[in-house]
């Protein structure tokens, strides 16, 4: 356990919560993927879930190595926290976008499906920006996500929103 703590630069026991949540999230994602493709065969579902969890873990560790130099964090375990915020934000923006688009009266039946999905993506993206900073604040990474948000909006051509007035 000490080797694990040293690798992830964990200095306090409460920080173990984030690797634990990361593993739970990977297990859940692998389970949902396996269930989507395989159905309800319990033995096959369990084995494919474990295999997909292994693959997703390898992908995440690869991404950690690639992003470690780009993202400035004080301790390595904070990258897990950042990944968790991205995962929660992506899911939440879609969950928030669906009722909003329904409240506007937009459905696939009364609008061309291509236009429906374009509007759905735009609405979800707007809420993604807001939720990213909000969840970043809740998880104690406000500064990281505020910088990330300004950079992302700058790439969308909205960087002028953050420039000081003359």
In the chain, where the domains are located: 14-70, 76-156
pLDDT, tens digit, for every residue of 59-82?
Answer: 998 988 888 888 878 888 888 899
**pLDDT band of 40, cuts 50, 70, 90:** confident
Q: Which residue has the tokens 């909006």?
A: 153
pLDDT, tens digit, for every residue of 125-157?
Answer: 889 989 999 999 999 889 899 888 888 888 877
Per-residue pLDDT, 12: 85
Torsion, CA 62, CA 68, CA 70, CA 73, rounded to 10:
140
pLDDT at 39 over 80: no
Give the global pTM: 0.79
Please, are residues 126 and 66 in contact by the beta-carbon 8 Å criterion?
A: no
């Amino acid at each position: 356990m000490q080797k694990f703590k040293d690798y992830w630069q964990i200095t306090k026991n409460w920080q173990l919560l984030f690797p634990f949540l990361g593993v739970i999230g990977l297990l859940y994602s692998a389970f949902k993927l396996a269930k989507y493709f395989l159905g309800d065969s319990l033995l096959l579902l369990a084995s494919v879930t474990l295999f997909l969890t292994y693959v997703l873990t390898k992908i995440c560790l690869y991404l950690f190595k690639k992003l470690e130099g780009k993202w400035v964090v004080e301790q390595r375990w904070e990258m897990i926290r950042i990944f968790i915020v991205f995962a929660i934000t992506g899911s939440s923006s879609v969950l928030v976008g669906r009722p909003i688009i329904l409240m506007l009266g937009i459905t696939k039946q009364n609008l061309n499906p291509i236009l429906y999905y374009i509007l759905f993506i735009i609405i979800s993206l707007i809420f993604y920006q807001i939720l990213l900073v909000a969840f970043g604040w809740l998880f104690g990474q406000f500064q990281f996500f505020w910088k990330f948000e300004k950079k992302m909006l700058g790439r969308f051509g909205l960087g002028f929103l953050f420039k000081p007035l003359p």
